[in-house]
Amino acid sequence: MSNRTSLGPILAATDFSAPARHAAERAARLAQETGAALTLMHVLPGGALQELRQWLGSGHAMEQQLRDDADRQLQAAIDALQAGRPLSIRAVQATGVPPQEMGREAEAQDAGLLVVGARGAGFLRRLVLGSTAERLLRRTTRPVLVVRQTPHEPYRRVLVALDFSPWSAHAVALARQVAPQARLVLFNAYQVPFESKLHYAGVDAATIDHYRQQARADAIQRVGSLATASGLQPGDWEPCIVEGDASQRIVEFEQEKDCDLVVLGKHGRSATEDLLLGSVSKHVLSEGSTDVLVSTTREA
């Protein structure tokens, strides 16, 4: 593929759980594939440390032991990722509220991608559907990759969900950056506007079917135009135009099309405000089985 821009630095978060190790492995693979710089970050929860100080007093040896243990685990994780890879990985250890510290570090290094596990210990366990995710995403307009699967190979087939809003072109570009060798499945779920109300109002079935065919034809044309505008060649992508509710159909077709990554997105000045609260994103993150890349971008 041509005209691909650099992904930029990758920031992966770890709490040393198995899902976090999978996320770190995916981040390392992406760094190797794209040439992006990689940072592996661990955040000691400030609230828990504060409780420890209340029980044992400030400066207790236990606190330093926790920090030393975390440092050793972080270095061991980096050593494992570097085994057999000519890859430089920067370690960052922080203390505080994990989403805040991740957001702060992402801003400091101008990260192009945040990578986290779908489940884990501590705050990562609630990342997808809990308040931590909402706080994290409200603190960044940077893309977030939620890793579900153990990575064995580069992404091969990526479903990019399109609604033709201004973020759609950015989502395609991001998919190409994260999965440079993958075939893109450009997906759109169309519906006849107010179909149930049309039936209720007595509009005949033939007219409604005409609207349905028109909506499908429009979606096909717009997907093709977006692919052309994005610089995709015919062998780089395929259309997937289906009727129905987007959230349900994405989950169905990520499996039917044998995809290993789904790209969702939102644009706007407040790009993350309802990102994981929206029905489509929330349903795909909770019900899907593949990795999910949440694409965000600021308005120009």
Q: CATH: 3.20.20.220, 3.40.50.620, 3.90.226.10, 1.20.1090.10. Which one for 153-300? A: 3.40.50.620
What element of type H or E holds 147? strand 144-147
Residue among 158, 188, 190, 198 nearest 175 (CA): 158
1-149 and 153-300 share one fold? yes
pLDDT tens readout for residues 256-291: 999 999 998 765 434 444 444 456 777 787 788 899
Identify the pLDDT of residue 131: 42
Domain locations in the chain as residue ranges: 1-149, 153-300
Q: What CA–CA distance (Å, rounded) separates 133 from 115? A: 12
In angstroms, the CA 246 to CA 284 distance is 9
Q: pTM of the prediction?
A: 0.84
What does the pLDDT look like over 174-204, one tens digit per residue?
999 999 999 999 999 987 665 565 555 666 6
Give the tens place of pLDDT for each residue, 234-257: 999 999 999 988 889 999 999 999
- Pairwise pLDDT comparison (237 vs 121), residue with the higher score: 237
Q: What is the DSSP letter of 145?
A: E
Whether residue 294 is predicted with pLDDT greater than 90 in this model: the reply is no
* Residue 212 CA to its chain's centroid (Å): 32
Q: What is the Cβ-side half-sphere exposure of residue 227, based on CA atoms within 13 angstroms?
A: 23
How many Å apart are CA 162 and CA 225, to the nearest integer?
A: 12
Q: Is the pLDDT of residue 211 over 80?
A: no
For the chain, counts of helices (H) and of strands (E): 10, 10
Task: Report pLDDT digits (tens) over 80-110.
Answer: 999 988 899 999 999 888 888 888 999 999 9
List CB contacts of 95: < 8 A, sequence separation 6 or more: 43, 44, 45, 46, 49, 101
Look over the chain and give the mean of its residue pLDDT values, rounded to a whole number.
81
* pLDDT surpasses 60 at 220: yes
| Architecture of the domain made up of 1-149 | 3-Layer(aba) Sandwich (3.40)
Q: What is the pLDDT of residues 133-168, one digit of tens each?
A: 455 656 677 888 989 899 999 999 999 999 888 788
